[in-house]
Amino acid sequence: MTKAVPDLVTFGETMALFLPQEYKSIENAPTLDVSFGGAESNVAIGVARLGASAGWFGALGDDPFGRAIMKRIRGEGVDVSRASLISDAPTGMMFREMVAGKLAVHYFRKHSAASQMQPDQLDLDYIRGCKILHISGITPALSKNCRETIFAVVAAAKEAGVRISFDPNLRLKLWTIEEAREVVLPLAEQADYFLPGWDELRLLYNNDDFDGVKAELSKLSAISIIKGVGDTTVVLENGQAAEVPFYPVDRVIDTVGAGDAFCSGFLAGLLKGMSVLEAVRLGSISGALVVQMRGDWEALPDWASVERRLSDKGWVER
């Protein structure tokens, strides 16, 4: 019997992650913690923790890092049946530290297994069978063939009537803003849900005027979910804007992973039958919970945690 396709499918590069303890610099840290991170696998884990079915695929090196990552993602209840371990290319790596109070990320992902993904390696029936395909702008930044792969995935999804969620997730260490515009903006035109941050939109449209950017977004068929407009998320649908305030945070520990947590909450909300505004509120709660702990995906909440806050029930400490 063929295993059912998860409701959400996503794909991209997941890397081994190394970071010093207690926010030391890498140069002065005696040891490094080892984890993993990748925008798309973070989203898949978040969706699974919130009670919806999720699948992630991509290429990892057939090395200790790749094998460990595959096991951990699978262990979070995410379907990895279409992911692969490649013997002739390594798992990408990233090192993260704080430098003068600011986040610094160092990538070692050139010629990684994920950067070698090809369109002819895709299981298109798997993509056509899901309800929502989630993609990010990181994957096409990895290589020319990854760019071709993401457009092939989008074409297959649209052909089957699958809804497409797109987070541009700009990484200007991987490509220039000019290169990004040539790919990200056409992908936004294909999306049903476009999930940019306001800072990303200012770069993509080379415009600091919100009304001007809003006019550009109104040309898209997508519902645009604009994160970080002041202390709100702005939902733009059919030319009409609605604001959803950020969920309050007691103490910010680590902002890494907040955007992925927001996306996972939003997408899980849609899969649970929520309206767009309700799903955005769920995304806001998920993002708020993540920034109060450390880690790319470790702090992603489960359904009980967000449901308590959706219903405004208090936290019982003891």
Q: Identify the CA nearest to 83 among candidates 125, 42, 128, 113.
A: 113
**Cα–Cα distance measured from residue 267 to residue 71, given in angstroms and rounded to the nearest whole number:** 24
Alpha carbon distance, N-terminus to C-terminus of the chain: 47
Residue from 260, 296, 302, 312 carrying the catalytic annotation: 260
Q: What is the DSSP letter of 314?
A: P
Query: In this structure, are residues 46 and 305 in contact, taking their beta carbons and an 8 Å threshold?
Result: no
Backbone torsion region of residue 197, taken as left when φ is above 0, otherwise alpha when ψ lies between -120 and 50, otherwise beta:
beta
**Assigned token pair, 76:** 């979070």
260 is catalytic: yes
Query: In this structure, are residues 131 and 8 in contact, taking their beta carbons and an 8 Å threshold?
Result: yes
Query: In this structure, are residues 309 and 285 in contact, taking their beta carbons and an 8 Å threshold?
Result: yes
Tell me which residue has tokens 């309206």.
275
Query: In this structure, are residues 110 and 91 in contact, taking their beta carbons and an 8 Å threshold?
Result: no
User: Which residues, in sequence order, are CB contacts of 237 under 8 Å at separation 6+?
Assistant: 223, 224, 276
Can you tell me whether residue 43 is helix, strand or coil?
Answer: helix
Show which residues are catalytic: 260
